[in-house]
Amino acid sequence: MAAFDLVSALISPAVLCAALVVFGAYVVVLYVFRIYFSPISHIPGPKWAAATRWYEFYFDAIKNGKYYLEVEKMHETYGPIVRITPYEVHINDPSFFNELYTVSKRLDKDPWYYSWLNRTGSIFGTAQTDLHKLRSPIIKKAFSTASLSRVEHVLKGHIATLCRRIQESKEERKALNMSDIFRSLAVDVVTDLSLPESLSLLETPDYGREHADFVRTVTELSLFSRHLPWFIPLLEATPRWIVGLQGETALHVADGVKGQKNQAQRVIENNGRPIGSKNFPVVMNEVYKSPDLPPSEKTPKRLFDEISILIGAGSETTGHTMATITYHVLANPDVQEKVRKELQEAFTENERKEILSYKQLETLPYLNACISEGLRLATSVSGRLPRINHTAPTTYTSTSRSYTVPPGTPMSMSIRDMHYNEELFPDPWDFKPERWLGPAAKENEKWFAPFNRGARSCVGRLLAMAELQMAMGNIFSKWDVRMSEGVRRRDVEMEHDCFAPFPARDAPGVLIEVF
Ligand code: HEM
């Protein structure tokens, strides 16, 4: 009876009102403190963004990757340096890019921002510089020039599968969805090189549609996870039959994650030995066997995190860039004509019938200018990239004044801001391969960083370039390719910034016909 009375008293209107008043007062004091008394209160920006992270949550999680538009508006209103959250400062000034990303002192990544995928065991998700120094060398070596040369035949094998599937569709007079096909090609390559088993998506009837759906859905859901850290772990721990109640996409996600966990388990069970006929060092086996890594760095969770990121980082980026290049080359017939002419002059008819390697294609100026311009327009890592200097303040000087940002403050920039800057790249929305030819190219390179710069730049850069050269070079040298009716720029343009620049959900993708 006494307990009942106590509960009744606690939920009485008077107590609830008092609790609400106390909570309201706490929120007001907290917000006032953050806006006016925080160590970064001198950085301009909207009050709501300075007061609470729920502002970002609304635009990023609820509206699905739309905070970048708010950040763009903030820069228009407040200038090149803005406070975009209670804790973080964002800069839109290309002249500061090298200062933030290639300083001799290595900066940590912001752990809050980079924990969103719940893959902190991967080199990508590792915030601390020291831990990254331990984890990354083995993976960097696995994707170096020398390693890539050893797996040239593997790349050729996957491009041969791509070409076979394109030839089949030509004979069947069927349109091809290159947005799906390129993502699958990239998944097949990175999984073959890195995991016990390649996913072989190019061989599936729908060219890996389910897998693309899985990668996109996980990435989108992860935007919630940045603000609600229990979100992704909870989803991953939910039994499959409950997940199934949410529909087919949810099942693709559950199965995709399970598949990656199985691959990590197989690396361990096989003690890092290759499975089947693989005649090259498999990246995750090299990680597992490395004498430089302690056992705590070889747990199933850590291997799973690395596998998950290698698949995501190695496929969505490369696939999106290939789709973007293809769209723009086909949307500009004069460009396609120049690409074809260059390939015809560089190789004999017999050579063009074989699979051209990146080593044969990397010196062709016009093809590579198209690839650079595609990398610029695609900017396949669209997210802001926050770094933290824990030991020293950072000074940023705009044209009108200097700002000192205290140590420990996440400072971010977005590669996209630089790549779409009108002063650096006039008509930034236009596809102009000429930007990368002749004397202008050298100056433009200064403002070109699709793979970022410095210690945390892309480890898969050389692999990505080889894939881009081989996919584009082989397709445009072997077939007359045309865009299907109704394909629009919107099919490759970013609508949602989920770190990856996803086009609209209902955009069908780059459909082509082959002759
Ligand atoms: C066109 C294709 C690609 C683009 C534009 C791209 C871009 C980038 C960028 C900008 C970063 C830095 C992200 C940051 O600062 O947080 C990055 C990191 C990374 N990329 Fe790529 N990437 C591409 C392809 C690949 C491929 C094929 C792989 C597969 C091996 C890969 C694996 C990674 C990894 C593991 C990291 C984290 C590196 C670290 O923190 O040490 N990427 N990529």
Q: What ipTM score was computed for the predicted complex, to two decimals?
A: 0.99
Q: What is the pLDDT of residue 441?
A: 96
Ligand 1 closest atom vs CA 452: 10
Q: Please choose from 193, 305, 317, 492 the residue to mutate so as to test ligand 1's pocket, defined by most ligand atoms within 8 A of CB.
A: 317
pLDDT in tens, 299-314: 999 999 999 999 999 9
**How remote is the CA of residue 451 from the centroid of ligand 1, in Å?**
6
User: Alpha helix (H) ranges present in 427-503?
Assistant: 440-445, 461-478
Ligand 1 closest atom vs CA 449: 10
**How remote is the CA of residue 74 from the centroid of ligand 1, in Å?**
28
pLDDT in tens, 368-379: 999 999 999 999
Ligand 1 closest atom vs CA 455: 41
Mean pLDDT of the chain: 94
Q: What is the pLDDT of residue 2?
A: 61
Task: Give yes or no for residue 467 having a pLDDT over 70.
Answer: yes
- Partnered with residue 411 across adjacent β-strands are 89, 387
Instruction: HSE, CB side, 13 Å, CA atoms: give it for residue 319.
Output: 36
Residue 190: its H or E element: helix 178-194
**How remote is the CA of residue 314 from the centroid of ligand 1, in Å?**
7
Q: What is the pLDDT of residue 232?
A: 84
Q: What is the pLDDT of residue 273?
A: 87
Ligand 1 closest atom vs CA 283: 30
**How remote is the CA of residue 489 from the centroid of ligand 1, in Å?**
25
**How remote is the CA of residue 456 from the centroid of ligand 1, in Å?**
9
Distance CA 441, CA 369 (A): 9
Q: What is the pLDDT of residue 14?
A: 85
Residue 347: pLDDT band with limits 50, 70, 90: very high
Looking at ligand 1, which residue's alpha carbon is closest to its atom 37?
A: 124
Q: What is the pLDDT of residue 237?
A: 85
- Residue 240 and residue 254 in contact, taking contact as beta carbons nearer than 8 Å: yes
Q: Please choose from 195, 219, 412, 458 the residue to mutate so as to test ligand 1's pocket, defined by most ligand atoms within 8 A of CB.
A: 458
Q: Which of the 8 DSSP states describes residue 460?
A: T
Residue 366: pLDDT band with limits 50, 70, 90: very high
Ligand 1 closest atom vs CA 320: 1
Distance CA 465, CA 363 (A): 12
Ligand 1 closest atom vs CA 139: 35
Ligand 1 closest atom vs CA 378: 5
pLDDT in tens, 154-195: 999 999 999 999 999 999 999 999 999 999 999 999 999 999
Ligand 1 closest atom vs CA 315: 27
**How remote is the CA of residue 512 from the centroid of ligand 1, in Å?**
28
Looking at ligand 1, which residue's alpha carbon is closest to its atom 41?
A: 456
Task: Give yes or no for residue 428 having a pLDDT over 90.
Answer: yes
Q: Is 473 exposed, middle or buried (0-12, 13-18, 19+ CB in 10 A)?
A: buried
**How remote is the CA of residue 461 from the centroid of ligand 1, in Å?**
7
Looking at ligand 1, which residue's alpha carbon is closest to its atom 23?
A: 317
Looking at ligand 1, which residue's alpha carbon is closest to its atom 16?
A: 385
pLDDT in tens, 479-511: 999 999 999 999 999 999 999 999 999 999 999
- Residue 131 and residue 482 in contact, taking contact as beta carbons nearer than 8 Å: no
- Residue 132 and residue 138 in contact, taking contact as beta carbons nearer than 8 Å: no
Ligand 1 closest atom vs CA 379: 5
Q: Any known ligand binding at 458?
A: yes
- Taking residues 79-104, report their average pLDDT: 94
Q: Report the pocket of ligand 1 as residue ranges, CB < 6 Å.
A: 123-124, 136, 143, 190, 309-310, 313-314, 317-318, 321, 380-381, 385, 450-452, 456-460, 463-464
Q: What is the pLDDT of residue 490?
A: 95
Distance CA 10, CA 92 (A): 51
Q: What is the pLDDT of residue 104?
A: 66
Quickly count: other Cβ atoms within 10 Å of residue 234's Cβ: 11
Cite the beta strand spans of 304-409 per DSSP E.
387-388, 394-397, 402-405
**How remote is the CA of residue 309 from the centroid of ligand 1, in Å?**
9
**How remote is the CA of residue 126 from the centroid of ligand 1, in Å?**
13
In percent, how much of the chain has pLDDT > 70? 98
**How remote is the CA of residue 459 from the centroid of ligand 1, in Å?**
6
Task: Give yes or no for residue 10 having a pLDDT over 70.
Answer: no
**DSSP helix/strand/coil, 500:** strand
Q: 81-83 and 500-502: which strand pairing?
A: unpaired
**How remote is the CA of residue 14 from the centroid of ligand 1, in Å?**
56
Looking at ligand 1, which residue's alpha carbon is closest to its atom 9?
A: 451
Q: What is the pLDDT of residue 355?
A: 98
pLDDT in tens, 123-161: 999 999 999 999 999 999 999 999 999 999 999 999 999
pLDDT in tens, 215-242: 999 999 999 999 999 988 888 888 888 8
From 459, 470, 382, select the one nearest 185 (Cα to Cα): 470
**How remote is the CA of residue 312 from the centroid of ligand 1, in Å?**
9
